[in-house]
Amino acid sequence: MVVRKVGKYEVGRTIGEGTFAKVKFAQNTETGESVAMKILDRNTILKHKMVDQIKREISIMKLVRHPYVVRLHEVLASRTKIYIILEFITGGELFDKIVHHGRLSEAESRRYFQQLIEGVEYCHTKGVYHRDLKPENLLLDSMGNLKISDFGLSALPEPGVTVLKTTCGTPNYVAPEVLNHKGYDGALADVWSCGVILYVLMAGYLPFDEIDLTTLYNKIGRAEFSCPTWFPVGAKSLIYRILDPNPETRISIADIKEDEWFKKNYVPVRIEEYEDVNLDDVNACFDCDEDQKAEEEGGNEDASPLNLHAFDLIILSQGLNLASLFDRGQDSIKQQTRFITKKPAKVALCSMEVVAQSMGFKTHIRNYKMRVEGLSSAKTALLSVIVEIFEVAPAIFMVDLQKSVGDCNEYHKFFRNFCSNLEDIIWKPSAESTKSRIVKNKSKRR
């Protein structure tokens, strides 16, 4: 098996893929630490004139080192790639938790909101304004703590600049003054987004949600929403103070932290300050020559199905129970967007291509990876899915699906429909083998 390395990192499976970047699981061979490796193509960055944007995002992440912010470890480069080494977060998106479990309890909502406010406040003390706060950009670590991610739209204005002008963010979470195109305070705009997130945590749905953008913007501009009857009085009062359409009278983070509902069971996190934030490696990565390139080993990674390393399997499993890989039930990890097949990899890939095309999607195959693209079931937006085959054991393959572009709910609909047409290749343990396993477990307990 070919071992792929970038510097001191052994590279594993792809865990995410977007238009401009691919994210792979990796392991530091010196410390054994698991990391996420974000890989960007240098030519693509240059072609789309994204150098300044990428530099800014990396610089911001190095600046905001906080327990509730995803940590950037380092940046590496070769002649063709930029490698951003990030903290590996195992708990998934807060968005997925809301989708799968519905509204959260008051105590859990408050805890996440307290962590969000602490993380955002710290960013603001460093002059950083996120501008795209939403549950999809809030990750959960193995301890259930919140981690703010995706600083791609963040602002780091020059000292003395207090008014931002760029309209950006996700419409449902954006403050009304951002939509007015007249300039806005980045801190107060982030506070509004935090208020929307608190509402979503406690309600299970958005306070502002209209298909027509004009109607949506009008409702946001007037703060036209209502709180469900189950909201506690304290939470309701705080939300109304946050979702104030007038930024001049909107509550600040300092006042939020003095609110009685917020302060319940609040334990401030301990912050380690880093005096020197060195950005030399960031600049070097965009200017490096052949002598500065990161060590890269291995040939064509897609020449055959990728063998999952032992640490890949551990990360994929729920705890250390590898049976979760074979279970497509509702209790599986992230409603399991992966399954096992005993069919030869090429046969499985061919079957999946036929099914995807029969569902009206276009496919593009490169060795043992397939991109599936087309309109969602609602026919209103693009859905792009990456399908990849991995060898788990001799003659046993895992098929992993990852959403690249599109709505999460539409993606899960696609996955269910896709799998329902693949019954002939999806392997399930037989009733006899399941019964045998139960009997063995009982005998062990005796």
Tokens 């896709």 -> residue: 418
Task: Between 395 and 321, name the one with better pLDDT.
Answer: 395
Region 29-38 average pLDDT: 91
Region 414-430 average pLDDT: 80
What domains are there in the chain, each with its CATH number?
Answer: 5-89+283-297 (3.30.200.20), 94-263 (1.10.510.10), 306-433 (3.30.310.80)
State the DSSP H helix or E strand holding residue 23, giving kind and residue range, or none if neither: strand 21-28
User: Which is nearest to 264 in space by CA: 110, 143, 67, 145?
Assistant: 110
Contact 153, 130 (CB under 8 A): yes
440 band by pLDDT with thresholds 50, 70 and 90: very low
Task: Between 392 and 203, name the one with better pLDDT.
Answer: 203
Cα–Cα distance for residue pair 400/393, rounded to 1 Å: 15
115 band by pLDDT with thresholds 50, 70 and 90: very high
Q: Is residue 410 predicted with pLDDT exceeding 60?
A: yes
Q: Which of 256-260, 288-292, 330-334 ranks highest by mean pLDDT?
A: 256-260
Laid out side by side, the sheet with 296-297 consists of: 72-77, 81-87, 34-41, 21-28, 9-17, 5-6, 296-297
Q: Annotated binding residues for ATP, as ranges? A: 47
Phi, psi (deg, nearest 5) at residue 277: -105, 105
Region 198-214 average pLDDT: 92
Q: Record the pTM.
A: 0.67
User: Which is nearest to 77 in space by CA: 41, 128, 102?
Assistant: 41
Cα–Cα distance for residue pair 150/436, rounded to 1 Å: 47
Structure tokens at 340: 């096992």
Q: What is the CA radius of gyration of the chain?
A: 23
Range with lowest mean pLDDT among 68-72, 202-206, 422-426: 422-426
SS3 content of the chain, % helix, strand, coil (to 5): 40, 20, 40
Contact 36, 86 (CB under 8 A): yes
Task: Between 316 and 438, name the one with better pLDDT.
Answer: 316
* The pLDDT of residue 300: 47
Structure tokens at 427: 């392997």
Residue 342, CA distances (Å) to 34, 222, 392 in order? 29, 57, 10
Give per-residue burial for 281-299: e unless 16+ CB within 10 Å, then b: ebeebbebeeeebbebeee
Region 42-70 average pLDDT: 86
* The pLDDT of residue 438: 38
Sequence-distant (6+) residues with CB within 8 A of 294 are: 6, 7, 76, 77, 78, 81, 83
* The pLDDT of residue 79: 80
* The pLDDT of residue 281: 62
Q: What is the pLDDT of residues 120-134, one digit of tens each?
A: 999 999 999 999 999
Contact 165, 224 (CB under 8 A): no
Q: What is the pLDDT of residues 129-165, one digit of tens each?
A: 999 999 999 999 989 999 999 888 898 888 878 789 8
Counting residues of the chain whose pLDDT is more than 70, the rounded percentage is 79
Tokens 């970038």 -> residue: 6
Pairing of strands 306-307, 382-393: parallel
276 band by pLDDT with thresholds 50, 70 and 90: low
Q: What is the pLDDT of residues 162-194, one digit of tens each?
A: 789 888 888 899 999 998 888 999 999 999 999
User: Which is nearest to 98 in space by CA: 197, 226, 237?
Assistant: 197
Q: Which of 224-238, 296-310, 397-411 ranks highest by mean pLDDT?
A: 224-238
* The pLDDT of residue 148: 95
State the DSSP H helix or E strand holding residue 81, giving kind and residue range, or none if neither: strand 81-87
CA atoms within 13 A on the CB side of 277: 13
* The pLDDT of residue 303: 56
The strand pairing partners of 301, in sequence order, are: none
Q: What is the pLDDT of residues 303-337, one digit of tens each?
A: 567 666 555 555 555 433 333 344 434 333 344 57
Structure tokens at 163: 């008014």
* The pLDDT of residue 311: 53
Q: Which of 37-46, 238-247, 264-273 ranks highest by mean pLDDT?
A: 238-247
Pairing of strands 146-148, 138-140: antiparallel
Active site residues: 132
